[in-house]
Amino acid sequence: MKHLIITLGLLASSAFAADVGISVNIGQPGFYGRIDIGDYPRPPLVYRQPRLVEHMSPRRPPIYLNVPPGHARNWRRYCRDYDACDERVYFVDNRWYTREYVPRYQAHARGRYEERRDARRDHRQAPRRGNGRDRDWEHGH
């Protein structure tokens, strides 16, 4: 009986360990995918000309991707992973992404977070009617 309980415990713990995942988002080192160039100067590119696998409408602007080197070389094989087979794609240099884009993106995102915190703080400190015992205030009603 002890062996059965120990075996079940080990199986359950390994199932929980398999559920652990890692998430990397844009603006973090190690992120691969579409990036918004916005007001950045044109970044250093892996290839001068955009890559295109399938025909597309020439009216859409090209997109910029940060991808592992093997993906850029074999783009026809990997374009579906990025949902970009029918897009004109420029591959940015990963060193530029890590050294230039990530720090600037994080500083910009941090500024937006601070603005949201300030707005929320102002809202909560707004003058209220009554005796200050409004129970719905904390419940969002």
Q: Quick check: 111 pLDDT over 60?
A: yes
Residue 127 lies in a domain: no
What is the number of structural domains in the chain? 1
Report the relative pairing of strands 33-35 and 89-91 from DSSP bridges.
unpaired
How, if at all, do strands 63-66 and 89-91 pair? parallel
- Domain assignment present for residue 137? The answer is no
Report yes or no on 111 lying in a domain. Answer: yes
Q: Is residue 104 part of a domain?
A: yes
- Does residue 116 form part of some domain? yes
Of residues 135 and 72, more confidently modeled: 72
Confidence of residue 96 (pLDDT cuts 50, 70, 90): very high
Predicted confidence (pLDDT) per residue in 25-82, tens digit: 677 778 888 888 887 788 888 888 888 887 766 678 899 999 998 999 999 999 999 9
Which DSSP string do the residues of 86-99 spell out, in sequence order?
Answer: TS-EEEBPHHHIII
pTM equals 0.57
Expressed as residue numbers, the domain containing 50 is 26-122
